[in-house]
Amino acid sequence: TLGTVATQPFLKQLAVLVAIALIMTVGVYGLVGGIVKLDDLGMRLVRGGKLATAFGKAILAFAPKFMKFLSIAGTAAMFLVGGGILVHAIPALHHMAEAAHAIPPGWLWENLFNAGVGVVAGAVILAVVTAVQRLRGKRHAA
Condensed to tens digits (0 to 9), the pLDDT of residues 82-107 reads: 999 999 999 999 999 999 999 999 99
Instruction: Give the pLDDT confidence score for residue 15 in this predicted structure.
Output: 95
pLDDT at residue 1, rounded to an integer: 79
What span, in angstroms and rounded, lies between the C-alpha atoms of 59 and 45?
9
Low-confidence ranges of the chain (pLDDT < 50): none
pLDDT at 141: 54
Give me the pLDDT at residue 60, please: 95
pLDDT at 115: 96
Q: Assess contact for 43 and 60: CB atoms under 8 A.
A: yes
What is the pTM assigned to this prediction? 0.67
